Amino acid sequence: MTRTRYQEMLDRLKRDVIQMGKLSQTAVHNSVKALKELDMELAQKVIDEDEVIDDCELKIEKGVSQLIALQNPTAGDMRFVTSCLKIAIDLERMSDLAVNIAEITVNIEGDHIKPLVDIPKMADIADNMLEQAMIAFENNYIDLAKATAERDDEIDRIYYATEKELIEMMIDDKDIITNASHLLFVLRHLERIGDHACNICESVVYIASGKRTDLN
């Protein structure tokens, strides 16, 4: 193997992206857990730890810039390096959405208007999509990336059904409008998290094959 320093920089970048993926996944997971259990402490933890994830993004951005400036990555390396930047942006957005969910939890007054079933189900799928997308990234698994992106349809189905249900509940009972609209936003945030997971899957396909695909 030649170009040892180059390879070290590429390896470090990959480790940083994988690490950021784990932190974002934890943020998404905890934000929904806090919402379901109305655990204000956990919600606050998600909000506080966002800074660490933002730092990860900056570190990745710096690693990408250095690789481009110093090493002239081409071909598969170039696809990997530019995609790392995109993936970091997706992960950062996902963490911000998790923070948004945590902030909603902090602002919810009293108990939930109904037992939360669909939202945690949606969150489980989104959480799992992110985990699988990052496994696909780590190992260049094109098939896993494609299969993972397909699960976004399940999220969308739950999103539309639950949205409809919440609107009907608000029509029936004006007193729940505040909390129900909070939940509408949570739905929207989870749906967006699924979309970002799809983006990561698209990046994996591009890295591994050079093909730009629309999996969303």
Residues that bind other proteins (CB under 8 A): 1-3, 6, 72-79, 209-211
Q: Which is nearer to other proteins, 75 or 171 (CB)?
A: 75
Closest-CA residue to 123 (of 108, 101, 144, 107):
101
**Burial of residue 148, with CB atoms counted within 10 A of its CB: 0-12 exposed, 13-18 middle, 19 or more buried:** buried
Closest approach, Cβ 146 to other proteins, in A, equals: 18
CA distance 20 to 142: 21
Least distance CB 61 / other proteins (angstroms): 21
Cα separation of 111 and 101, whole Å?
A: 16
Distance of closest approach, residue 23 Cβ to other proteins, in angstroms: 30
Q: Which is nearer to other proteins, 7 or 19 (CB)?
A: 7
Between residues 6 and 185, which has the closer beta carbon with respect to other proteins?
A: 6
65 vs 107, which CB is nearer to other proteins?
Answer: 65
- C-beta separation of 152 from 195 below 8 A: yes
Question: CB of residue 70 vs other proteins: minimum separation in angstroms?
Answer: 13
